[in-house]
Amino acid sequence: METSRNQDLPDRQQPWRVGALSRRRLLKGAAVTAGSVALGLGAAGVAEAADASITATSPDGKNKITMSLTGGVLQWSAKRNGTTVVAPSVLGLQLSNGTTLGRSSTTVTNYQHWTKDSTWTPVFGRNATVRDHHQEMRWNLRDDSSGVNFSVQLRAYNTGVALRYVLLDAGSATIADELTTFVFPDNTLVHSARDEAAYSPVAPGAIPSTGTSGTDTGPLTDLPLLVTLDSGLVATVCESSRVNYPRSMLSSVSGEPNTLKTYLMKKTARGSGTVQNTSTVTTPFTTPWRVMVLGSEHGELIDNAELVLNLAPANALADTSWIKPGKVFRCELTTAAGTEGVDFAVARKLEYIEYDAGWYGPEFTTTDATTPITAIDLPTVINYATQKGVGVFLYVNRLALSDPESLFALYKSWGVAGIKLGFINDGTQAMTNQIITWAKIAAKHRLLIDMHDNVRPWGYERTYPNWISLEGVRGNEQFPTATNNVNLAFSRNVGGPMDYTICYGQSRDKTTNNHQMAMAAVYYQPLNFLYWYSKPSAYTNTANWPGLAWFDAVPTSWDESTTVAASINEYVAVARRSGTTWFLGAMNNETARTLSVPLSFLDSGTTYTATVYADGTAATSPYGTPTVVSTRTVTAGTVLSVAMTSAGGQAVILRPAS
């Protein structure tokens, strides 16, 4: 169960209602900050003439997000350390009845601000505790043309900035479009990708047009979106707290080379499902947060990823004692392979096995996921696994999810630990709600859930922590390049957990085995599928596979995490602590290099034994490069030399010396 602790709350939740300031005083004091006098608006005529702005500032003073009202038009902008990240950009919502909020005749009716400083404890995560320290600014607004009341909320954290809208009037509304844009400085690059395609660094205005007749088409890119600015600043654009709302993409804007606009998906990501051109909601209604994780150094994006969770609703489950992160092995579709997989899991210290597509028949023609194929005696496998302390996951294609309540209850009665849902094509408002419903029903029956295919994160692993992982990544089903793998740490993984499917000892890998090993520390994967495409028999001679000991030891949930070296497109090194042991993973692109990594994250005054799994002499193909294991004594003052071949990596276990 998530717990939270407030530390101090200066200016906390202090609403300032409309006063009777004169027009002259209002214009003179247009820039409003926390703790200032209320933004006062008298008669309607005065309000219409008033221009003003408010700025939320992060506790460390580095990040600022500003909203301005000029001639009845709303805009926003963001800066880090005084340098522009987003120039003045459009705000607003388009309703289906033709009302456009924020683009004209907008007046302020109320101003609020507060600072919050609290900590909360996730069920699993990158760190044992998360600090939620931010300043929030809110304007309540009225569209004088239609009489619609709405709000825009700004937040500034040390880790980034965020904004969202609230429709305030009781009743209902139909949203046709969200107008939020991001105007970036000149020479900005965005790492564009759609579905599970490779990243393409392009100017914001040059995103390639993609899509089919069954999907949304246009110059569209998925979130999370990695952004590199000419100033050296970096950002990852994400969304958080999406409920009863379509998934957002970003689109180039014709004639505006530095601009991206929020695009609300009307079709599911892979072209199946009902088209929804609008979204009808009960009001008051809050849209998802538009989030920018910010960094001055590239590694700060990885360390600042918990911003997405801080913006999501708190844990909704009273009892989370049954939720266990862990490592998973996929078994072949026989009884013998299942029991062999359990034995392998025990030997390799894995928490789960899984039967994937086909265990109940051909997944795209079988709608009944209640009867295993004759080759699998499922009760025998589950009983054997339970006796050995191993959980069982079952894969289910969405075609067999017509009655999730009955199906999940049945799986729970069998003793199943979790379900992996396949071909869940996120995108529309209806699919957002369906995904949340599946997570809720699974939680009711104490089942973990892993959403597969083109699902994108929005922080809901905090709200329903049984939703432990999701795919939405170019992982080892595509055997991507080493550069792709490096950049995942700054992009997709910032938004939330990802099911990458690590392949160790797989000849189709375009990387060294050490590169694959390092992923277990570099990536945040609370449910980590290991040895993908392999059989237990492949590792019978353990002497041939020195990396097994690394995978045996590495956990999937952490007490502390820190990025120790990082350069987008080139390399990344992350250290994560579980108990007193640290696990350091480093991944390289296709250029061999040696990193100097200070071990200053270790406890001072403690001596550690470092077990180093390094690339050996580079082979013709990266896969053939051997692993060289060595040990040495290190302290917090040690600078570790981390040598990596092309598409290579290094994995290091740091244990306090006895």
Which residue from 417, 358, 408, 360 is spatially nearest to 388, judged by alpha carbons?
Answer: 417
Buried b (16+ CB within 10 A) or exposed e, 517-545: bbbbbbbbbbbbbbbbbbbbeebeeeeeb
Q: Report residue 203 as tokens.
A: 């100017």
Low-confidence stretches of the chain (pLDDT beneath 70)? 3-49
Query: Greatest CA separation found in the chain?
Result: 83
Q: How many CB atoms lie within 10 A of CB 34?
A: 18
Quote the pLDDT of residue 2: 80
Our measurement of the distance from residue 590's CA atom to the centroid of its chain's CA atoms, rounded to an integer in Å, reads 26
Q: Does residue 4 sit in helix, strand or coil?
A: strand
Q: Residue 78, Cβ neighbours under 10 Å: how many?
A: 25
Query: Count H helices, E strands: the chain?
Result: 13, 38
Alpha-carbon distances of 366 from 358, 363, 442, rounded to whole Å: 9, 5, 21
Contact 648, 514 (CB under 8 A): yes
Q: What is the pLDDT of residue 8?
A: 39
Q: Please state the pTM of the whole predicted model.
A: 0.94
Would you call 358 exposed, middle or buried from its count of C-beta atoms within 10 A (0-12, 13-18, 19+)?
middle
Alpha carbons 407 and 401: distance in angstroms, whole number: 8
20 residue type, one letter: A
From 87, 243, 277, select the one nearest 166 (Cα to Cα): 243
Residue 42: per-residue pLDDT: 28
User: Among all chains, which residue has been given the structure tokens 């409920």?
Assistant: 243
Half-sphere exposure of 520 (CA within 13 A, CB side): 32
User: What does the alpha-carbon distance between residue 657 and residue 610 come to, in Å, rounded to a whole number?
Assistant: 9
| CATH code, 52-311 | 2.70.98.10
Give the model's pLDDT for residue 31.
34
Q: Which value, in Å, is the radius of gyration of the alpha carbons in the chain?
A: 25
Overall residue count recorded for the chain in this entry: 658
Could you identify the residue written with the tokens 């200032």?
A: 36
**Residue position matching structure tokens 């100097």:** 596
The DSSP call for residue 219 is S
Q: What is the pLDDT of residue 25?
A: 30
